[in-house]
Structure 1
Amino acid sequence: MNKEASDMEKVRWGIIGCGDVTEVKSGPALQKAEGSELVAVMRRNGALAEDYARRHGVAKWYDDAEALVNDPDVNAIYVATPPGFHREYTLLAAKAGKPVYVEKPMARNHAECQEMIAACEEAGVPLFVAYYRRGLPKFVEIKRLLDSGVIGDVRFVQSTYTQPMRAYQDGLEPWRIQPELSGGGLFVDLASHALDVLDFLLGPIGEVKGFASNQSGQQKVEDIVTTSYAFESGVMGTGVWSFSSHKHLDLNEIVGSRGKLSFSTFSGDLRIESADGTVEEVEIPNPPHVQQPLIQTMVDDLSGLGRCPSTGISAARTNRVMDELLRDFYRA
């Protein structure tokens, strides 16, 4: 940790890109976390930045990222833009010597992640990534259960996520399905959460094999990805993410020698099944501002009071896995 970070009395955040994700998930959390304050926001559309600042009680607003980064009242930067801008703004913040919190996925590809990590390491500033499930009570509890051996030795993992195809008018596609902005399609936006959660629960994924395709013939991005992979620990895994199926399904199953844990990536359900047939179903709701627990770990990290579990190093591993799965699709 650099001297500036360790000497902070309060982490005073500036947001680059105060769009939808910051309205409830993160912006209020930056204000409510202990030892944290949101002091400035920026959007290229100054009127929207001013409106956000007024509605959220933020003192300053900008329409220029460099001006926000160089504001002396701002000592930490939150990059909440689409991934296509994460590298640019992370390097800008690192050059100014300010810690960076960047939205997920960390970047469009693993190479950009490596550049961001190197720039922050050279500047001596921390780099955090918004894989906020690492701080949510449900996933903290799942990790505790796994570490306690409640299902024995973990053998394999299965992840399934499906949803119907969404229709968009030509020219009005959201940034999440514009590879030049997002790095891919909805797989990159949504599956990154599941892949990072599994990294958090079971450690890094090693070898990865899989396929990506566009089965619907719509849009220009992948709408199905299948994979088989092996964790460095020896646990095996499979996954399928389909975005042109008949209904919504969100299920992860971690199977062990003495039981199984079943849970979704995006809701609060958790099912614990023992070898003797005993089943316990638990609902662990999310807090009102889902990023607040992770943000608190970052503030504590910057204040020398703890460690944040979601860093550039851990987040880059998820980008590496996604690169492996999408490489042949985009090469074609």
Structure 2
Amino acid sequence: MSKIQDNEVKWGILGVGNVCEVKSAPAMNLIPNSKIVAVMRRSEEKVKDYAKRHGVGKWYTSALDLINDPEVNAIYIATPPNAHLELATIAAKAGKPVYVEKPMARTHLECLEMIEVCKQANVPLYIAYYRRELPHFLKIKELMDAGVLGKIRTVHINLKQKLDASLITKVETNWRVDPELAGGGYFFDLASHQLDLLDFFFGKITHANGFASNQAKTYAAEDIVTGNFVFESGVLGSGNWCFTTSKNAELDQTIIYGSKGKISFETFGKGEFILETDEKGLEKFSFELPKHIQQPLIKTIVGDLLGTETCNSTGESGARSNWVMDQLVKERI
């Protein structure tokens, strides 16, 4: 059953910043029965420029004006997380489905409020955890579900990035390291993707604890986090995130261990992974990633709204990653 009255999803976008240049918004005009009809940004100069470059007919500097545009029947919120709850509430009360950038909100409590307001308004809520639909991650899940790794035992995340020296002078303009805007630092921005992907692979995380610290003191948010977690499926996991390492120490690696082998991959790299099994040894898989990285997920959202397929990145699943992050940073040292 269709979740919108029209047979076409007509997007209104709130916050046409960098993520809307290539990653997400252009895909909305490439998917059948989907198009962008209006965009909004507070800066008139910037929103007019975006609309002109991307061929969008209408632009606004007021979120409320865009949401109330009668032609718009679905809202994409591409702002920093501090505005997600407020904008999702306005959109839901206007009866329009909501697609929200990740992380879903600054806290798990805000996520729960978003879920409830959309539930009360009877509108769907989707979250931009697009890795759930990328080909190499779908292949990893397919292999694990087929038993290639045997019984999954444990999974380990190791993410190290060098300190961005420009932050020393640009902290005030970088919302990703401002807890008031983002909920936390780069951990909230990047680990949210990793934790959601593991949720997709193994199901809900039921227990989590960790430690967070601000070692470099370059900005207010945490810059290092370590933690452990347990999935409802019985898989055990751990994570180590540090954003103040040297360049030669940078690393993006997740390893899944099973009783018959292991899989290792980068979350933020190419569409590749390595499978090592007792039976076949080492195998490398490589997939081409879409130019507009969110396109496969947005396609499922359009299909879900039109009643032709199902999207599995919802408010409920997105909120679970926020819950885990809240637990991992609760103990500040």
Q: Which residue of 2 aligns with 1:184?
A: 184
- On the 8 A contact 2:178/2:219 being kept in 1, the answer is no
Q: Which residue of 1 aligns with 2:92?
A: 94
**What amino acid does structure 2 have at the position aligned with 1:190?**
L
Q: Which residue of 1 aligns with 2:311?
A: 308
2: CA distance, partners of 1:170 / 1:328: 28
2: CA distance, partners of 1:192 / 1:119: 22
- Structure 1 runs of 4+ aligned residues shifted over 3 Å read 170-173
Which runs of 5 or more structure 1 residues have no equivalent in the other structure? none
Q: What does 1:1-332 align with in structure 2 at a 5 Å threshold?
A: 5-167=3-165, 168=167, 169=169, 172-246=172-246, 247-267=249-269, 268-276=271-279, 278-329=281-332
- On the 8 A contact 2:171/2:219 being kept in 1, the answer is no
Deviation readout 1:205-260 (Å, 9 max, x if unpaired): 11001111112232211111001111011100011001011232000111001111
TM-score, length-scaled by structure 2:
0.96
Identity among equivalent pairs (%):
52
Q: State the SS of the aligned residue for 2:215.
A: coil
TM-score, length-scaled by structure 1:
0.96
Q: State the SS of the aligned residue for 1:327.
A: coil
2: CA distance, partners of 1:164 / 1:293: 31
2: CA distance, partners of 1:146 / 1:276: 15
Q: State the SS of the aligned residue for 1:53.
A: helix
Which runs of 5 or more structure 2 residues have no equivalent in the other structure? none
- On the 8 A contact 2:210/2:331 being kept in 1, the answer is no
**What amino acid does structure 2 have at the position aligned with 1:263?**
F
- Report the CA distance between 1:264 and its aligned residue: 0.7
Deviating more after overlay: 315-324 vs 206-215: 206-215
**What amino acid does structure 1 have at the position aligned with 2:99?**
Y
2: CA distance, partners of 1:278 / 1:35: 45
- Report the CA distance between 1:171 and its aligned residue: 5.3
CA RMSD of aligned residues (A): 1.3
- Report the CA distance between 1:170 and its aligned residue: 5.8
Deviation readout 1:107-145 (Å, 9 max, x if unpaired): 000000000000000000000000000111111111111
Instruction: Evaluate the alpha carbon distance shift between residue 170 and residue 13 of structure 1 in structure 2; reply closer, same or farther with a 3 A threshold.
Output: closer
1: CA distance, partners of 2:142 / 2:79: 33
**What amino acid does structure 2 have at the position aligned with 1:223?**
D
Deviating more after overlay: 239-248 vs 51-60: 239-248
